[in-house]
Structures are given as C-alpha cells and as structure tokens.
Amino acid sequence: MFETDRLQVRPLTQDDCPALTEILSDPAVMQYSVRGVCDEAATRKFIDWCLECYASSGLGPWGLLDKFSGDLIGFCGIGPEEVAGIEEINLGYRLAQRYWHQGYATEAAEAVLAYAFSQQLAASVVVIIEPEHIASLRVCEKVGFRHYTPLVFHNRPVRVYRMLIADWRDQQGSSPG
C-alpha cells in the first residue's frame, strides 16, 4: 500500500496470524487494549474484522513490516469505532515490544494519517487513549493531535483526541521542508 523509511504497510491476512498472535498475546502490548490479551482464535477473529473493514471501506488496521528483515512488527491503521454512540474513524496501533521506544509508532501513525487524509478516506480521525498510557500520549502529540475530550470508553476513563483533515493539511503546510 505504502511505505516509510523503515516500514512497509500492507493489509493483514490470515497468514499473519502466528506472528500477530505472538505480539497480541503479550500482556505488556495489550495492557491498554479493551480486547485484552489475544490468543490465536481471538487474533484470527481480529484479522477477519480487518478483512471486513478493507472490503467495506478500504480502511482498517494494516500490517507493519520491517523493511529490512521483512518481519511483521505489529499493525497501525484506521477503522470504525463506536465512541459515545457515534461511529468514528479511530487510529490504532500495536507493536511488538522489541520495537518500542524507537520511533516506529510515530512513523507508522504519521504515514497512516497521511495516507488516510491524502486519499480522502476520512474527514476526521480520533484516537482514544487512557491518560496513564504515557507512550501513546506522546505519539499522539508528535503526530499532531492537540485537543481532547475526556470520556468513558468500555468503562475506562479515556481522552478522545480528534484531527480534522483541515488540521492535517495545516500541519503539512507548516512543516519544514
């Protein structure tokens, strides 16, 4: 679909299930997930949902492959999520622990937003983050989300940040280079 300096981004397939199960079965990776830790069956169900999203809207969580090793390192994408009774387009990601704190989440999120907004796949994107999830809050701010609304999501207090396509375009105009 597209790539960054270090990542190839493509739709997930059921062939990704073993590698993705390894990532999504890690309690640290899934600490802030409403789904919780995923076994193989739950990962297959998640991939099925991704495939349905791709077919119905062209959106969904996409696989992230390390360009150098070819390994699946996680996913990042946008997909439908009901928030406070309204269907939103939500940015989400999960990375294998060994790829944390190296800028991969920011790189992937920036690329997904650029793809989504430049292809006009969404007019608005939200991100839902628990206030205690400091690493995700940093990623969110680095990619340009600025303002949030406090809500309760799946019985958890969260911050819901929103970026409009106009906000993204303004950021692109003010970026150096």
Report the distance separating Cα 176 and Cα 167, nearest Å.
16
Q: Output the tens digit of pLDDT for each of the chain's 177 residues.
A: 899 999 999 999 999 999 999 999 999 888 888 778 899 999 999 999 999 999 988 889 999 999 999 999 999 999 888 888 888 999 999 999 999 999 999 999 999 999 989 888 888 999 999 998 899 999 999 999 999 999 998 888 999 999 999 889 888 876 554
pLDDT digits (tens, 9 = 90+) for 89-102: 999 999 999 999 99
Question: What distances in angstroms separate CA 3 from CA 8, 19, 25, 173, 176, one per listed residue?
Answer: 4, 20, 26, 21, 21
List own/partner pairs for 118-122 with CB under 8 A and 24 or more apart: 120/165, 121/57, 121/58, 121/59, 121/78, 121/89, 122/59, 122/78, 122/89, 122/165
Global confidence as pTM: 0.88
Give the helix/strand (H/E) hosting 170. helix 165-174
Report the distance separating Cα 152 and Cα 150, nearest Å.
7
Report the distance separating Cα 64 and Cα 41, nearest Å.
21
R_g of the chain, CA atoms, integer Å = 15
pLDDT digits (tens, 9 = 90+) for 51-84: 999 998 888 999 999 999 999 999 999 988 888 8
| CA-wise closest residue to 144 among 166, 123, 168 | 168
